[in-house]
Amino acid sequence: MQYLAGYRRHLVGALPSKKHVENARSKMGRVDQFLRRMAEGKSGLETWRFMADADRVLGWPADLLKQGKQITTVKVYLVNTGQFLTYFTETPPETSTVPQHGLVSVSRALKSAAGQISTTVVLHQIQVKDQKEKRTVSAPVLRRCLEECRRWIPELLRDSSRRRHDVVLRYQLFGCFALFVASLYGHRAGVVRNMTAAEVREAEDGHRRDSSGYVINVRQHKTARAFGSAQLFLTPEEFGWLKSWMTIRSKLRPQTDLVFFNCNGGPVHKLTSFARDAWARMRLPGSPSLTDIRTAVATMARDTSARRTADRFYAMQLSVTQLAAMRRTFDVSRGDAEQTVDE
């Protein structure tokens, strides 16, 4: 356990984000499962010689599948275990007496197992892609969703102002706003979930009177390490919704800087479920997840935007003018698609 604690520190690294810590915890869980499997029924565990068992490694993918794991998840288990084995080989514990040839055989077995399931992984990914396409949300439906959100959000804010302790009503508002953001830009739920009051205040402080809207830079999200802040451009009316909620929020006195929070003051983990509920109340077709909506918006961006915009949608920090232009492009695209359907 002391050795694994050192490996966890290695995974977490310096200046880790909350998401980084969560990822490290997931990887440690998979490594723990691997070690428990390798050590089962064996003695002398302090020598780590139980690691040199290639046959158990080769049988591991089948056991994971029997546990109900998807083939793509099995691949992740093998990759994370391979990373641990590399760390173990380079910096073995002091009590280890595992021969070098034993570690080589286990490493070879892991690579062999990963190679053998690669075809199944690809076929599974194709099947998942086909299923996603069947749940595709069209541009006209996205446009209807945005129109409904513009109608619902002010009403929910008015009701929340009168009944600020109504948790059900509050979650309806959160789901509706998440749906609006996803349908508008294709942002993941984490962008809304991790938005902070400080970031909203920064957007307000940085607003110029001659600009067409407000830009919120959300620093904590899934791809922040690669692409930086996720940018959210809102018109004065839309930003006014957030300001109204912030007024209600201040009266609730939450012990968190998150804009949207659960009853315990933590992140709203069921945001996708709340968004689905909002979708159903708007009587829109199907029951898409926020990921389905993100896929639809990303496809629209790819098909209708300039290559530079589509390819670097997240990879660059855009100005207010650039974000406003992107917003107009998306709105025109939705309108053109709706006109095509009507014709």
Q: What is the mean pLDDT of each run of 10 residues along the chain (343 residues)?
A: 93 85 94 96 94 94 91 92 95 94 94 84 66 73 94 97 94 96 90 95 86 88 70 93 96 95 93 96 92 84 54 52 73 54 40
Q: pLDDT value at position 300?
A: 74
Question: Cβ neighbours of residue 183 under 8 Å, at least 6 residues apart?
Answer: 142, 145, 146, 149, 293, 297
Pairing type for strands 214-218 and 230-234 reads: antiparallel
Q: Which CATH number fits domain 135-342: 1.10.260, 1.10.443, 3.90.640, 1.20.1070?
A: 1.10.443
Q: pLDDT value at position 119?
A: 76
Task: Please report which residue ranges of the chain form alpha helices under DSSP H.
Answer: 2-12, 18-39, 54-66, 71-90, 100-116, 118-134, 139-162, 167-185, 189-193, 197-205, 224-227, 236-252, 271-281, 290-304, 307-311, 320-342
For 233, phi and psi rounded to 5 degrees? -95, 125
Q: pLDDT value at position 59?
A: 93
Measuring CA to CA, how many Å separate 278 from each of 19, 95, 189, 260, 299?
27, 57, 14, 16, 23
- Look up residue 37 and give its two tokens: 């499997």
Measuring CA to CA, how many Å separate 202 from each of 99, 145, 261, 325, 333?
57, 28, 19, 22, 30
Q: What is the pTM of this model?
A: 0.63
Q: How many residues does the chain have?
A: 343
For Cα atoms 121, 124, 130, give the angle at the middle one, nearest 5 degrees: 145
- Look up residue 242 and give its two tokens: 């957030």
